[in-house]
Amino acid sequence: MGKVVRQKKSSPEKSDGGEPVKLVPGITARLETAGRYFVFLGELFRCMFKRPFRFSQYIAEIEHLGLNSLFVIILSGGAMGMIISLQMIMILLDFQAEIGAGAAVAVAMSREISPIITSLMLIAKNGSAMAAELGTMRVTEQLDSLESMSISVEHYLVLPKVVASFLVFPLLTLLADMVASIGSYIVSVNLFNIESAGYLNYLFDFLSPRDVLMGLIKAAIMGVCVSTICCFTGLETSHGAKGVGDSTTRAVVASSVTILVADYLLTTIILRFIYL
């Protein structure tokens, strides 16, 4: 009988050339990017306590982020309030409870919709601009020049944007809450002839400061998430003008997904510790 020759199985971790086989290269790259992002956050936190404090840059970023975004937030907040009010009234008419539509809109906007819609609008308007600005500075070697002069890019360019986002996102969310309530009032009173006094009584009876606070906490955290992700993505830019476009796209997508995931996590935590 012939001798059975067993072939030696090659290790799945090694290729024929002796180098490790990358089974899922995309996962490795994403883990490396996540690691660099958390290192970036650590450096940013350290810069918060580092002098000099450039207050003029903070004020300029707050003005750019806040004042220049008022029209967008007023328009989107008012539209959302009117749309949700229409839908809510049509549902509550079946139960003859349409007078409570204003309260439902105010609570929904304060807790959930205003922080999300504000963040999405500011991602499109300002987050993309942050990524494009820093990405352009990276590919044109302006950031390299700053680093060669021992100027911290995180402290000089990124930190003012993050602090401004932390402060401005809640303020614009509060503005969206108020505009949405005004839009809901117009629809309810003028289109459906709901009694004005009853509408306002229901609104103030059901809307509590905790609802508003919940939205403001979410907005502040979302502001930090959006600004850090967009700035980090901009700093990671390479490959010229095409890289700037790719980085801007990645920043917008990553920020949008992050705030939706963060909204669920924050809602779970806040409802557990504040409402229960």
Q: How many domains does the chain have?
A: 1
Residue 139 lies in a domain: yes
Residue 19 lies in a domain: no
Q: How far apart are CA 219 and CA 226, in angstroms?
A: 10
Are the beta carbons of 99 and 199 closer than 8 angstroms? yes
Residue 155 lies in a domain: yes
Residue 118 lies in a domain: yes
pLDDT tens, residue by residue, 173-221: 999 999 999 999 999 888 888 888 888 888 888 888 999 999 999 999 9
Give the mean pLDDT per block of 10 residues along the chain (276 residues).
44 50 68 87 84 83 90 94 91 84 90 94 93 90 85 86 94 95 91 86 88 94 95 88 89 95 93 76
Q: Determine the residue type at 23.
A: L
Q: Which domain holds residue 215?
A: 54-275
Residue 171 lies in a domain: yes
pLDDT in the model for residue 19? 55
Residue 174 lies in a domain: yes
**Which residues, 6 or more positions from 203, have their beta carbon under 8 angstroms from its beta carbon?**
102, 103, 106, 181
Q: What is the pTM of this model?
A: 0.84
pLDDT in the model for residue 150? 80
pLDDT in the model for residue 20? 52
**Which residues, 6 or more positions from 235, have their beta carbon under 8 angstroms from its beta carbon?**
40, 134, 135, 138, 143, 153, 158
Q: Is 20 helix (H, G, I), strand (E, B) or coil?
A: strand
Are the beta carbons of 14 and 20 closer than 8 angstroms? yes
pLDDT in the model for residue 34? 85
**Which residues, 6 or more positions from 53, have their beta carbon under 8 angstroms from its beta carbon?**
none
pLDDT in the model for residue 7? 45
- Of 111, 114, 102, nearest to 211 (Cα)? 111
Residue 87 lies in a domain: yes
- Of 212, 209, 217, 208, nearest to 263 (Cα)? 217
pLDDT in the model for residue 84? 92
Residue 11 lies in a domain: no
pLDDT in the model for residue 47? 81
- Alpha helix (H) ranges present in the chain? 25-47, 55-66, 70-92, 101-108, 114-122, 128-139, 142-148, 153, 159-186, 196-206, 209-235, 240-270
